[in-house]
């Protein structure tokens, strides 16, 4: 297979895709602006959870190579952009990484190249911002060069679905752009789905994550009054889930985290307000509820301590699992951070344990914290333990048996006198 691929951005999205493409015989350049990341990758050292050093070694043997030189784009048949789009202060995506990548592509682009944007953004970005920077007025889209959008669907830590077997949506600026993008992804992905165009593909990504965001907010809101009404919401959800149609189970927790759910719906809300002049109220309400979830956890910690005759000020509070989801090392937008900040502001003596995060600098901490080494001893000495992420390494029954007051924010431990659910 003679195609040459350049993947711009070698993070959680770009690196797994680059290695999968190399696996089927493409010549792959992983382009990244971080020279230390490039050096580590070429030395066989991975920096993300879903790619082991062994996986990377196999990719290097298959012809993958990391580089910081954008000149590699000149010989590319396909360029895929997987750079981050963090939330800007005004609420929309910070498109500077996308713009920098597009400008670099435009400077080195050759005719007949397929260019695909995967970075999550609002509908219209591919056509209005990305494509003009890529073409620079030198090429016509659909005949000289081919531009499409394909939303990334990486789920860090997912052992079932990865690059190969997660269906890929593609939407081009012209039908020929869509066709070429579909043919490209079909080389190494099992199922490729054509969208009507780039804007529909962009909207599909935001719809997926807004759906989750809103439904998580629904159960987080229901949790508050269910606790007051002495209703076990987790049991109610388990019962509702037995319905074979018309229901999808979402469960409450300490808040939302990661690179998608807390961020992506805001892009759509910002776009609607900026373009149409009115609010996307469903998203704004979901954001309000989910952003308040860590404070609700803090209030439950306060209540639990109060029930045991102790004040938060000076109390030993142990957090278990500070990543945004189980069994990964990713702390991006983790609800553990604002929770820690609230507890520290109340004077709590805060500690934590996480097998994936040896050191942590939460909001409000005077210095970097270190994960406790003797977990059972830390649980036994804590005034309250808060389970945030049920990592597989945790023996939850054993931790619960220690007898220290434990607040289970995930509903995974049977309730006892010592264990309370959120």
- Is 273 in contact with 279 (CB distance < 8 Å)? yes
What angle, 0 to 180 degrees and rounded to 10, lies between the N-to-C axes of helices 281-307 and 336-345?
A: 50
pLDDT of res. 157: 83
The CB-side HSE value for 51 (13 A sphere, CA atoms) comes to 25
pLDDT of res. 160: 92
pLDDT of res. 2: 67
Span 349-380, pLDDT tens digits: 999 999 999 999 998 888 899 999 999 999 99
d(CA 166, CA 205): 13
Full pLDDT tens readout for the chain, 422 residues = 569 999 999 999 999 999 999 999 999 999 999 999 999 999 999 999 889 999 999 999 999 999 999 999 999 999 999 999 887 777 778 899 999 999 999 999 999 999 999 999 989 999 999 999 999 999 999 999 999 999 999 888 888 999 999 999 999 999 999 999 999 999 999 999 999 999 999 999 999 999 999 999 999 999 999 999 999 999 999 999 999 999 999 999 999 988 777 777 777 787 888 788 887 888 889 999 999 999 999 999 999 999 999 999 999 999 999 999 999 998 988 999 999 999 999 999 999 999 999 999 998 888 899 999 999 999 999 999 999 999 999 999 999 999 899 999 999 998 888 899 98
**Whether residue 177 lies in the annotated active site:** no
pLDDT of res. 361: 93
160-196 burial, b for 16+ CB within 10 Å, e for fewer? eebbeebebbbbbbbeebbebbbebbebbbeebebbe
Q: Is 140 exposed, middle or buried (0-12, 13-18, 19+ CB in 10 A)?
A: exposed
DSSP letter for each residue of 175-188: HHHHHHHHHHHTTT
d(CA 176, CA 64): 28
Which three-class secondary structure state does DSSP give residue 135?
A: helix
pLDDT of res. 1: 53
d(CA 325, CA 97): 26
- The CATH homologous superfamily to which domain 4-196 belongs is NAD(P)-binding Rossmann-like Domain (3.40.50.720)
Helix (H) or strand (E) holding 4: strand 4-8
> One of 82, 177, 260, 331 is an active-site residue; which one?
260
Strand 316-320 relative to strand 359-360: parallel, antiparallel, unpaired? Answer: unpaired
d(CA 46, CA 52): 6
d(CA 103, CA 62): 29
pLDDT of res. 138: 93
d(CA 244, CA 362): 42
4, two tokens: 């040459």
| Long-range contacts from 287-293, C-beta under 8 angstroms, 24+ separation | 287/213, 287/217, 289/217, 289/220, 289/221, 290/213, 290/216, 290/217, 290/220, 290/255, 290/256, 290/262, 291/255, 291/262, 291/338, 293/220, 293/252, 293/253, 293/254, 293/255, 293/256, 293/335
CATH code that applies to domain 234-421: 3.40.50.720
pLDDT of res. 50: 86
- Portions of the chain given CATH number 3.40.50.720: 4-196, 234-421
Between the alpha carbon of residue 276 and those of residues 95, 260, 273, 376, the distances in Å are 20, 24, 5, 55
């Amino acid at each position: 297979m003679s195609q040459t691929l350049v993947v711009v951005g070698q993070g959680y999205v770009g690196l797994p895709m680059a290695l999968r493409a190399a696996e089927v015989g493409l010549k792959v350049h992983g382009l990244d602006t971080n020279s230390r990341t490039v050096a580590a990758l070429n030395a066989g050292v991975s920096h993300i959870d879903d790619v082991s050093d062994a996986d990377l070694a196999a990719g290097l043997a298959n012809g993958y190579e990391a580089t910081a030189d954008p000149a590699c784009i000149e010989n590319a048949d396909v360029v895929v952009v997987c750079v981050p789009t963090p939330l800007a202060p005004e609420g929309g995506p910070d498109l500077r990484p996308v713009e920098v990548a597009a400008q670099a592509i435009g400077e080195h682009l050759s005719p007949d190249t397929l260019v695909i944007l995967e970075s999550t953004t609002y509908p219209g970005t591919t056509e209005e911002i990305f494509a003009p920077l890529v073409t620079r007025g030198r090429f016509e889209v659909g005949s000289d060069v081919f531009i499409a959008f394909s939303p990334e669907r990486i789920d860090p830590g997912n052992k079932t679905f990865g690059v190969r077997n997660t269906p890929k949506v593609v939407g081009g600026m012209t039908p020929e752009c869509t066709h070429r993008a579909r043919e490209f992804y079909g080389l190494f992905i099992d199922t490729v789905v054509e969208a009507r165009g780039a804007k529909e593909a962009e909207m599909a990504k935001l719809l997926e994550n807004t759906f989750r965001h809103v439904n998580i907010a629904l159960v987080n809101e229901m949790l508050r009054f269910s606790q007051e009404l002495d209703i076990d919401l987790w049991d109610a959800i388990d019962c509702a889930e037995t319905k074979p149609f018309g229901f999808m189970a979402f469960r409450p927790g300490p808040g939302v985290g990661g690179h998608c759910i807390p961020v992506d719906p805001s892009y759509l809300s910002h776009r609607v307000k900026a373009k149409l002049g009115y609010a996307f109220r469903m998203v704004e309400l979901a954001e309000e509820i989910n952003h308040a979830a860590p404070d609700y956890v803090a209030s439950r910690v306060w209540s639990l301590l109060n029930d045991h005759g102790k004040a938060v000020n000076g109390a030993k509070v142990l957090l278990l699992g500070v990543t945004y989801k189980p069994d990964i090392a990713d702390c991006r937008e983790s609800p553990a951070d604002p929770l820690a900040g609230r507890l520290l502001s109340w004077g709590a003596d805060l500690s934590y344990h996480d097998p994936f995060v040896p050191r942590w600098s939460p909001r409000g901490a005077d210095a970097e914290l270190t994960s406790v080494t003797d977990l059972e001893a830390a649980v036994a000495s804590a005034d309250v333990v808060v389970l945030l992420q049920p990592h597989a390494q945790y023996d939850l029954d054993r931790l619960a048996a220690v007898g220290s007051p434990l607040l289970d924010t995930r509903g995974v431990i049977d309730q006892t006198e010592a264990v309370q659910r959120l």
